[in-house]
Amino acid sequence: MQKKKDDLLKGQWGRVVLKVSGEAFAGDEGHGIDGHVVQEIARQIVKVRSEFDVELAIVVGGGNIWRGMVGSGAGMDRAQADYMGMLATVINGLALQDILEQLGQPTRVQTAIHMSQVAEPYIRRRAVRHLEKGRVVIFAAGTGNPFFTTDTTAALRAVEIEAGAVLKGTHSGIQGVYDDDPRTNPDAELLKEVSYIDVLQKGLKVMDSTAISLCMDNELPIVVFDLMGDGNVGSILAGEAVGTVVR
């Protein structure tokens, strides 16, 4: 049973954008869509919506199905390969929508490439209205332009809808931003907070430089955390120190 608005917890931000990579959808398989993983992601989203007075938008990647850079490296036209990647994000968005609505969470998918049979076109004011009505909005098809990543999409959409932060969910046990690659260096140290400038100058693997610059220009904080860690999204909204904050 959905709590009344007055009974919900107040988070440190009233509206956030959650970035979910396509690879997270694949689980241990590394490709395709793992239904159990999508269910877990959806369950966490529903739990947060049931506990916190927060408006939640989601940007999904498509790397579990297709990555434009891979196609480009194989000799494909880069723009064509990127458009294919945008379509992959729509598949993931529809999968997440289906599970969310099975769990009772009203959801809308908006795409930057028009495909009216399966999703709404991205319209900023309509997206904001959906959020105000308690719906989760999934932004798919990237920005609608080649040569831009879904990280940039997350930053752009967050700025457009006046979100308070971007929550970038990682996977494979990565807790946040480290001073070295934790997969090859077991002594790599988790950084609790870094600046936008440090991310850019040191080449830290947070988001691409376009996304970081956009967040920096608009003073939009980024929280990098383990998406699959139980309760992490709620802990972040409650103001607890989870993952790494970039600001």
Average of per-residue pLDDT across 205-223: 95
196 has pLDDT over 60: yes
CB count within 10 Å of CB 120 equals: 16
Average of per-residue pLDDT across 138-154: 97
Q: Give the pLDDT score at 7.
A: 77
Average of per-residue pLDDT across 96-111: 98
> In this structure, what token pair is assigned to residue 81?
């390969």
Our CA angle for 238, 193, 199, nearest 5°, is 130
Encode pLDDT of 221-237 as tens digits.
999 999 988 899 999 99
Q: Give the pLDDT score at 125.
A: 98
186 has pLDDT over 90: no
Helix, strand, or coil (residue 96): helix
Stretch (H or E) spanning 150: helix 150-160
61 has pLDDT over 60: yes
Our CA angle for 164, 167, 173, nearest 5°, is 160
Task: Answer yes or no: are the C-beta atoms of 225 and 169 closer than 8 Å.
Answer: yes
Average of per-residue pLDDT across 208-228: 96
Of 62-66, 104-108, 200-204, 212-216, least confident by mean pLDDT is 200-204
Q: Where are the domains of the chain?
A: 5-246
Q: What is the CATH number of domain 5-246?
A: 3.40.1160.10
More confident call, 27 vs 91: 91
By percentage, how much of the chain surpasses pLDDT 90? Answer: 79
